[in-house]
A and B are shown apart, each in its own frame.
Chain A
Amino acid sequence: MEAFTTHTGTAVPLRRSNVDTDQIIPAVWLKQVSRTGFEKGLFAAWREDPTFVLNDPSYEGGSILVSGPDFGTGSSREHAVWALQQYGFRVVIAARFGDIFRNNSTKMGLLPVVLPGDKVEALQAAVEAEPKLEVTVDLVERQVRWADEVVPFEIDDYTRWRLMEGLDDIGLTLRHADDVATYENGRQPWLPTTV
């Protein structure tokens, strides 16, 4: 995956809560067997509304999505992450994320940033007042910065390190293949196989 250290760009305020992954990428888009082309399906139903924020030219080119709480709930579809990335987003900021979405994001190098609800609200308001406001998401310092604001965020050291190095989890795990083999030899004898 692409390494993430710090990113500066403009933001898109998404004033919705419970943004489930069915909204981020509707199921009809999940029939593809490739990993590309999902940007066309991003928020496909909502984008039909001309007033939807992604249709507002003032936010064109935004790379930081700032959403209401409970972003990425529901279905485990990683296609939601691919769609956001392929559309051009590098960061999603929200007060709460669905666990699976958050996990999928960190596997792909899309940074999910949890900020307190009032800070999300403040950032949305700042961006609405000034759509071309420069926003920096700094994974090294664990900060989101805009105008005079500096807001810290939490992320565990291991995930941060993986993101900053752009490391592939499978490669990391395969270094411990011996541990896996040892564990396998001690598994309970009644556990089923699919054979």
Chain B
Amino acid sequence: MGRTLAEKVWEQHVVRRAEGEPDLLYIDLHLIHEVTSPQAFDGLRLAGRKVRRPDLTIATEDHNVPTVLGPIADPVSKTQVETLRKNAAEFGIRLHPMGDAGQGVVHIIGPQFGLTQPGMTIVCGDSHTSTHGAFGGIAFGIGTSEVEHVLATQTLPAYRPKTMAIEVSGELPVGVTAKDLILAIIAKIGTGGGQGYIVEYRGEAVRKLSMEGRMTICNMSIEAGARAGMIAPDETTFAYLKGRKHAPQGELWDQAVEYWKSLRTDDDAVFDKVVEIDASTLTPFVTWGTNPGQGLPLGESVPDPESFDDPVARSAAERALEYMGLTAGTPLREIEVDTVFVGSCTNGRIEDLRSAAEILRGRQVKTRTLIVPGSMMVKKQAEEEGLDEVFKAAGAEWREAGCSMCLGMNPDTLKPGERSASTSNRNFEGRQGKGGRTHLVSPQVAAATAVTGRLTAPADL
């Protein structure tokens, strides 16, 4: 019987397999940031251990950094960033600090450097590591104990998850993006739907996506509960990688591409679960609640909790409406927002900024609008294309690279009761700042919303 893509990549990385034990899996790339690593380095020091492969490890500063120029004002954040610098120096790990041309959100810079390649195993102490699966590798988030384990051994003991295929047929209509697709998928299978699975996204609509779009999809796999999401590599993948700093060159490139072409699910392989979705029926999607599965097409209204049959879903909806300050039956298009955020590891790439700029060109924003490039490389490219001027002319704020308003760890936060349209990945209570209310949207919907001050699709303008 044939094998799935996930099975092929997994088998390639098994260092040791023994009856009744998890596989010992080799890790090709370990990404580090300041938040989940300090206690892991402390653990190494306490045990007198070294980093086994500093040459397969890379660090950046992203979660705590302010996105305006200048030093970190918060002394606790500053200590955490300085701790990373000290640890990187002590253990010989390459670090891209604030101000460096290579600095940025950890899941943005890996692919940009060409470090993320098909068939690799990639981990990071961050749940959105699933992003890197867009290149056809297995990439997943880990906790600090596992960060320490990978630093010390370059391996992880793990049981292979089950496999799920999400088959996306048809074509995404104009104005409907990868973000809308993944929000629709999460609403369909639920925040626990992917638990225990590696998801492979397949089908015509997925094949037609750019690498940026594929990364957006894989990034939010974790919001459906799946630890990893992946997409088989193809010509789009190879074209993205070719010529990047750490991509193979010359003869090695040819060898690599030949191998990468074998990284597809065999026709006779069987998935443990298959989910089907028709892309051609989708419209812009937004969330109304406090988990990413609580989403609907923008044309709908805030749901009535009584309309949910499942008592758990009903009480979650009741609570979500109370937290979000929403009334059942209100058309989603009538929801007014205070802030628009375009950025994050979900939607902070050049394509996202281009699509937001296209909508904001020649228009004015009505709300506070933060445009935050995912990395300094994205920032540079956007400025070369003149996108920064478009944003500034529209009245939006053009910022430095970082995680920014995706999570409340740096100065970019919502105040209690404030409401955002955000291109990030989590609408949890307090995620963007205590008491803040988040609606997850695509970059296009975010830009259109900035123009009207209410949740808006570009086609409405």
Contact = CB atoms under 8 A, between A and B. Distances in A.
B42 interface: yes
A74 interface: yes
A22 B429 contact: yes
Most buried by B among A28, A32, A177: A28
Nearest to B153: A173
A184 interface: yes
A76 B315 contact: no
B246 A192 contact: yes
Interface string B108-122: 000000110101100
Nearest to A103: B143
B409 A18 contact: no
A195 B409 CA distance: 30
B270 interface: no
Interface string A18-30: 1010110011101
Given A70-B225, A108-B145, A45 B15 contact: no
B8 interface: no
Q: How large is the interface on A (under 10, 10 to 19, 20 to 34, 35 or more residues)?
A: 35 or more
Contact of A183 (B15, B117, B429): B15
Given A170-B153, A173-B149, A194 B58 contact: yes
Interface in A20-49: 20, 22-23, 26-28, 30-35, 45
A91 B287 CA distance: 33
Interface in B131-161: 140-146, 148-149, 152-155, 157, 159, 161
B355 interface: no
Given A100-B227, A170-B148, A195-B94, A22 B426 contact: yes
A18 B252 contact: no
B291 interface: yes
B157 A173 contact: yes
Contacts of A69: 192, 312
A180 B227 contact: no
A77 to B, nearest CB: 7
A194 B154 CA distance: 14
Interface residues of B, number: 87
Interface stretch (B28-36, B200-208, B367-375): B28-36
Nearest to A80: B143
A9 to B, nearest CB: 24
A96 interface: yes
B316 interface: yes
A98 interface: yes
Contacts of B223: 74
Contact of A169 (B77, B80, B157, B319): B157
Interface string B43-72: 000010100101111100001100000000
Contacts of B74: 31
B144 A99 contact: no
Nearest to B158: A103
Contacts of B26: 180, 183-184, 187
B22 interface: yes
Given A18-B191, A20-B428, A22-B426, A170 B24 contact: no
A34 B39 contact: yes
A151 B76 CA distance: 45
B312 A170 contact: no
Interface stretch (B172-180, B253-261, B346-354, B441-449): B253-261
A77 B222 contact: no
B142 A158 contact: no
Given A100-B142, A193-B56, A31 B20 contact: no
A108 B195 CA distance: 21
A68 B312 contact: yes
A18 to B, nearest CB: 5
Contact of B57 (A45, A77, A177, A194): A194
Contacts of B152: 170, 173-174
A57 interface: no
Contacts of A174: 152-153
Given A158-B21, A158-B22, A170-B49, A98 B225 contact: yes
A166 to B, nearest CB: 13
A24 B435 CA distance: 15
Given A78-B36, A78-B145, A31 B64 contact: yes
Nearest to A191: B28
Interface of A: 15-18, 20, 22-23, 26-28, 30-35, 45, 68-70, 73-79, 81, 96-100, 103-104, 107-108, 117, 156-158, 169-170, 172-174, 176-177, 179-180, 183-184, 187-195
16 contacts: A18-B291, A27-B407, A32-B80, A33-B38, A33-B83, A34-B39, A73-B291, A74-B127, A75-B126, A107-B143, A117-B312, A179-B24, A190-B117, A190-B248, A194-B54, A194-B94
Given A170-B47, A184-B154, 9 more contacts: A27-B63, A76-B36, A76-B141, A76-B143, A78-B36, A103-B142, A158-B21, A169-B149, A170-B149
Interface of B: 15-16, 20-22, 24, 26, 28-29, 35-36, 38-39, 42, 47, 49, 52, 54-58, 63-64, 74, 76-77, 79-80, 83, 94, 114-115, 117, 119-120, 125-127, 129, 140-146, 148-149, 152-155, 157, 159, 161, 191-192, 195-196, 222-223, 225, 227, 246-248, 252-253, 255-256, 259, 290-291, 312, 315-316, 319, 407-409, 426, 428-431, 434
Closest 6 CB pairs of A and B: A104-B143, A78-B143, A107-B145, A190-B248, A33-B38, A76-B141
